[in-house]
Structure 1
């Protein structure tokens, strides 16, 4: 059974209140119409239409099913119109917001590829670690790092990145090198905050017993990832940044990894946008391109082992044709 075709036939039968008229307007045999409705009823497991010699009457379940069918057929029609209208050549201005280190290390080095693929799209790229309100600030899409909470935004995880605990040689010479988590009691950190409700300075680790969060001491707080790294290099304390964001500093010896036996939990990287329905071709193009970019990026992992990322109980959303693994979310980190 072609379910979509059967739904179209069922809707036409209801609209004209006749199997015969539906067959005439669809230019098919009456037996085709009858069989399609019967197969639908068998599929859903309930009678949709009560038939008499003179009239047709929708059952209560039939009324509910008809309303669902109309929404589905309308969505299919809109999707086809959207693609015909310009998916192959999207145009317009697209506003995106990207966390600083992701923009600098992953997006910007490849942004020329997007421009070459979609010359009709003008980009406005906002960078920073502040959590912007997509609706109030007119942002089409954001790339966010960290756990996403439950709300009306649409979120799609596109990768995870490895984090690392590091400090400068000067800091370690002054404070000593911690050899275990217990040694952190006398150490300080640079406190990084980006959300509206920042938590106290905490360091996160994976241990044999499971994830462990350690309350740390800090005398300085920042909300920008570049400043976060710069202060660590200057000896203000330890930090737990993305490994890719300090790769050059590690190679140069400006920062040194500590407690490698206790890795830091990974953080998810997600695309976030306001709506699932009627996506503009320009937004759909960026979602597809950025998803593919993260899939091939050596800086981002795609391991399923993500600690403290997607919260249990977040409702999965309906999949889009080329934007999978969506969830209804609110950015909280």
Structure 2
């Protein structure tokens, strides 16, 4: 038995939650992964996983074995990386999940610089506004904004985004310019951004001095993807509450007009997030550093 390979296969099944996802991430046949774990269980004399047709459950022995072996795998990976780093350039495959507007306006346009520095790295972007499970979806890192709810993840803040409320000149000519956020609750159309988790409108935050509140306005059009949400506002379908980096060019051209400018809430933080139990490879390390430097120098998110 290749015990190291079997332990890696077992750890990946635990993290991914299914044999199929584990096999895909390891680029092994499903039968090979299953056989490795069966052999490992026979070697240890304990049951590590309970299998049904629909799910895999980790036994108490399996959980204990996972907790004891994962640090060993990480230490071995660190040793290997340390020896390779002196000889090799960062190389390999990265899987990065990112929100749509951030991808199209900030990361993708700058990517030629990263690939010129690290030509041996291949990146697959999952571009959407849905929140992924980093472990089960086998993602190396995500770039996301907002309050971090899963404190078990490792996060590095890379910047923050200023809010802006805006509409087209034609819309404002027809409906008038609201002077207070509460004016949006009657006589105005708002394009709501919908949560990808619940499908419900995300509250619009407003703040002026010590006064802070959120409002949710009924809508004729709601959108759950940031680029399409912005496109709806640009099409004159209603007022949008969005990030300044998204709207900046269209405000400068006159296609959009900012409103309620004295009611801007606190900036929205953005982070690079990755699993604590996932080995930080050299390629992931340089990508995180590049992303942080990109926003520090350009101010793309902060709106500088």
* Both structures adopt the same fold (TM-score exceeding 0.5): yes
Q: Equivalent residues in 2 for 1:247-266 (5 A)?
A: 247-266=248-267
Distance across 1 between alignment mates of 2:163 and 2:220: 22
TM superposition shift of 1:260: 0.9
CA pair 164-302 structure 1, distance change in 2 beyond 3 A = closer
- The answer on whether the counterparts of 2:97 and 2:143 sit within 8 Å (CA) in structure 1 is yes
- Structure 2 residue aligned with 1:83: 82
CA pair 114-183 structure 1, distance change in 2 beyond 3 A = same
Q: Equivalent residues in 2 for 1:93-172 (5 A)?
A: 93-172=93-172
- The answer on whether the counterparts of 1:142 and 1:272 sit within 8 Å (CA) in structure 2 is yes
SS of residue matched to 2:135: coil
Distance across 1 between alignment mates of 2:76 and 2:84: 12
SS of residue matched to 2:162: strand
- Structure 1 residue aligned with 2:174: 174
TM superposition shift of 1:133: 2.3
- Structure 2 residue aligned with 1:234: 235
Question: Which has the larger displacement, 111-120 or 143-152?
Answer: 143-152
TM superposition shift of 1:144: 0.7
- The answer on whether the counterparts of 1:295 and 1:302 sit within 8 Å (CA) in structure 2 is no
Distance across 1 between alignment mates of 2:195 and 2:215: 19
Distance across 1 between alignment mates of 2:230 and 2:278: 39
TM superposition shift of 1:111: 0.9
- The answer on whether the counterparts of 1:165 and 1:238 sit within 8 Å (CA) in structure 2 is yes
Q: CA RMSD in A?
A: 2.7
Distance across 2 between alignment mates of 1:214 and 1:199: 13
- The answer on whether the counterparts of 1:154 and 1:276 sit within 8 Å (CA) in structure 2 is no
| Alignment of 1:289 onto 2:290 | yes
Distance across 1 between alignment mates of 2:91 and 2:233: 43
CA pair 128-278 structure 1, distance change in 2 beyond 3 A = closer
CA pair 209-173 structure 1, distance change in 2 beyond 3 A = same
CA pair 195-155 structure 1, distance change in 2 beyond 3 A = farther
SS of residue matched to 1:288: helix
TM superposition shift of 1:183: 2.1
Distance across 1 between alignment mates of 2:76 and 2:233: 55
Distance across 2 between alignment mates of 1:162 and 1:94: 29
Distance across 1 between alignment mates of 2:246 and 2:143: 16
- The answer on whether the counterparts of 2:199 and 2:224 sit within 8 Å (CA) in structure 1 is no
SS of residue matched to 1:206: strand
Q: Provide the TM-score with structure 2 as the length reference.
A: 0.69
Q: Provide the TM-score with structure 1 as the length reference.
A: 0.63
Distance across 2 between alignment mates of 1:146 and 1:97: 15
Q: Equivalent residues in 2 for 1:1-333 (5 A)?
A: 79=78, 81-86=80-85, 89-186=89-186, 187-275=188-276, 278-301=279-302
Structure 1: give runs of 5+ residues left out of the alignment: 1-71, 304-333
Distance across 1 between alignment mates of 2:118 and 2:95: 15
- Structure 2 residue aligned with 1:30: none
Distance across 2 between alignment mates of 1:227 and 1:181: 23
TM superposition shift of 1:78: 6.3
Q: Count how many residue pairs are aligned between Structure 1 and Structure 2.
A: 233
Distance across 2 between alignment mates of 1:123 and 1:75: 22
Q: Deviations over 1:57-110 (max 9, x none)?
A: xxxxxxxxxxxxxxx999888645522222751211111111111112211122
Structure 2: give runs of 5+ residues left out of the alignment: 1-70
Q: Deviations over 1:174-231 (max 9, x none)?
A: 2211112232221221111243135445221112233211231212111111111111
Distance across 1 between alignment mates of 2:233 and 2:72: 57
SS of residue matched to 1:285: helix
